[in-house]
C-alpha cells in the first residue's frame, strides 16, 4: 500500500514538473521566495495589528504557530525522516531556483504557510480566501520548482495546521485557568 502511494506521488510530481507553464514559472518562484520562513505571514499579522484589525494576542498566536511549525518541520521531523529531495535521484527534471541541502519531508514552506493561514483565518476571517489561496500556492510552488514531493507539502501542511491549533490553545490557556 505504502509503495503504491509513493509510486503515485512520484507520478504526480513528474506530471507537475513536466507540465510547467513558462509564463507561470516566475510567479511560482516568487511565491516560493515570499513563503520562505513564514515572514510574509508575520508581516501580514503585524500590518493587521498596527491597523487595529486584530488584537495583539492574535499576532502572538501567529508568531507562535509559525515558530512551532518551523521547529517541528526543520529541527525535529526533517532530521528524523531524512527523505532525499526529488533532485537527488537521476530524474533529469530541471530544478528551478536553488537546491536546498536539507531533507525533503516535511516541507518547511508548507508548514509555515498553513500555520500562518490557519491563524490568520481565525483572527481575520474576512481574508480567509486570500490566506488559503496563498498557503496552497506556496505549497504547490515547492513541487512545481522540483524541490519537494507532493507528500512533503501535504505533510508540511498538516504540521502547520496542527501547530496553529497548538498555538491557539497555548495562548488561550492562561485565560482558562481558574483564579486561585
CA distance 147 to 144: 8
**66 within 8 A of 113, measured Cβ to Cβ:** no
Q: How confident is residue 40, by pLDDT bands cut at 50, 70 and 90? A: very high
Tell me which residue has cell 507562535: 64
In a domain, 29, yes or no: no
In a domain, 62, yes or no: yes
pLDDT tens column, 123-166: 999 999 999 999 999 999 999 999 999 999 999 999 999 999 99
| Average pLDDT for the chain | 91
The pTM for the full model equals 0.91
What is the domain-level CATH number for residue 115?
A: 1.20.144.10
**94 within 8 A of 129, measured Cβ to Cβ:** no
pLDDT of amino acid 93: 73
CA distance 66 to 13: 26
| 25 compared with 89, residue with greater pLDDT | 25
In a domain, 26, yes or no: no
- DSSP assignment string, 86-154: GGGS---PPPPS----S--SS-HHHHHHHHHHHHHHHH-GGGHHHHHHHHHHHHHHHHHTTS--HHHHH
Please count the structural domains in the chain.
Answer: 1
In a domain, 14, yes or no: no
Parent domain of 138: 45-174
Tell me which residue has cell 504557510: 113
In a domain, 114, yes or no: yes
C-alpha cell at 60: 502572538
pLDDT beyond 60 at 180: no
In a domain, 39, yes or no: no
In a domain, 30, yes or no: no
pLDDT tens column, 75-93: 999 999 999 888 887 766 7
In a domain, 15, yes or no: no
Amino acid at each position: 500500500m505504502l509503495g503504491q502511494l509513493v509510486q503515485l506521488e512520484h507520478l504526480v510530481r513528474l506530471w507537475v514538473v513536466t507540465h510547467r507553464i513558462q509564463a507561470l514559472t516566475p510567479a511560482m518562484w516568487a511565491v516560493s521566495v515570499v513563503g520562505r520562513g513564514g515572514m510574509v505571514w508575520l508581516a501580514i499579522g503585524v500590518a493587521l495589528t498596527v491597523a487595529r484589525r486584530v488584537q495583539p494576542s492574535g499576532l502572538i498566536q501567529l508568531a507562535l504557530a509559525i515558530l512551532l511549525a518551523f521547529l517541528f518541520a526543520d529541527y525535529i521531523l526533517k532530521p528524523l525522516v531524512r527523505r532525499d529531495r526529488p533532485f537527488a535521484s537521476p530524474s533529469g527534471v530541471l530544478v528551478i531556483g536553488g537546491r536546498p541541502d536539507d531533507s525533503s519531508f516535511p516541507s518547511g514552506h508548507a508548514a509555515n504557510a498553513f500555520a500562518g493561514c490557519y491563524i490568520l483565518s481565525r483572527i481575520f476571517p474576512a481574508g480567509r480566501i486570500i490566506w488559503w489561496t496563498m498557503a496552497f500556492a506556496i505549497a504547490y510552488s515547492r513541487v512545481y520548482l522540483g524541490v519537494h514531493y507532493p507528500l512533503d507539502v501535504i505533510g508540511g501542511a498538516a504540521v502547520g495546521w496542527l501547530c496553529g491549533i497548538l498555538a491557539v490553545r497555548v495562548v488561550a490557556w492562561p485565560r482558562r485557568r481558574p483564579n486561585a
